[in-house]
Amino acid sequence: MNLTFKPMTVNCAEQMLRWVYDPPYESYGYLGDDPEWVVTYLTDPENRFYAVLDGEEFIGFRSFGADGQVEGGHYDTDYLDVGGGLKPELTGQGLGAGVLQAGLRFGQRAMKTDRFRATVAAFNKRALEVVRRVGFAEQSRFARVEDLETFVILTIDLEV
C-alpha cells in the first residue's frame, strides 16, 4: 500500500455518507444523518479529519482530536485522541494495523506528539485487536452517558 494523508475533502466526505457497515458495526456509518452537517463537520480543519489514500483511491480516514472522545470517559491533555475507519468493503481484511501505524506516523509529524489515545467500543473486537496489535494498552473502561454502552480507553507512547 502507498498511503498518504490529506485534509478531508468534500468529495471524500460525500463518499463516506454512502458507507454502510454490516451488523454489528452499522452505527459507524452516517446513513440517516444530515448530509450537509456531516460534510461540513468532516471538512472543517478544526476537527482534523484526514482522508487516507492508497495511491489515488480513498480508502479510509483518520481523525486527531476531540472527535475521538466519547461522553462519559475521563480525558486529560496528556494524549492526543485518534479515530479512524476504513471503507466497509476493506474491513476485516487485515489492513487495519498498517493503516493505523501509518496514521500514527503521520500524526507524529503533523501534530507534533508521540502520545496517542484511542477510545473503542468494547463490542468492537476487530478494532480492539488492531489497536492492541499496534501497541496500544488498555487504561480504563467506562459506560457512555447516553446509553451505558461500554467503551475502552487505550494509549500508546511511540518511540521518538
Neighbours of 159 (CB within 10 A): 6
Mean pLDDT for the chain overall:
95
Determine what percent of the chain is predicted with pLDDT higher than 70: 99
Q: Are strands 80-86 and 57-64 parallel, antiparallel or unpaired?
A: antiparallel
pLDDT for position 160: 58
pLDDT tens figures, 35-94 = 999 999 999 999 999 999 999 999 999 999 999 999 999 999 999 999 999 999 999 999
Ordered by where they begin, the domains of the chain are 3-112 (3.40.630.30)
Are 61 and 52 in contact by the 8 Å Cβ rule? The answer is yes
pLDDT for position 21: 93
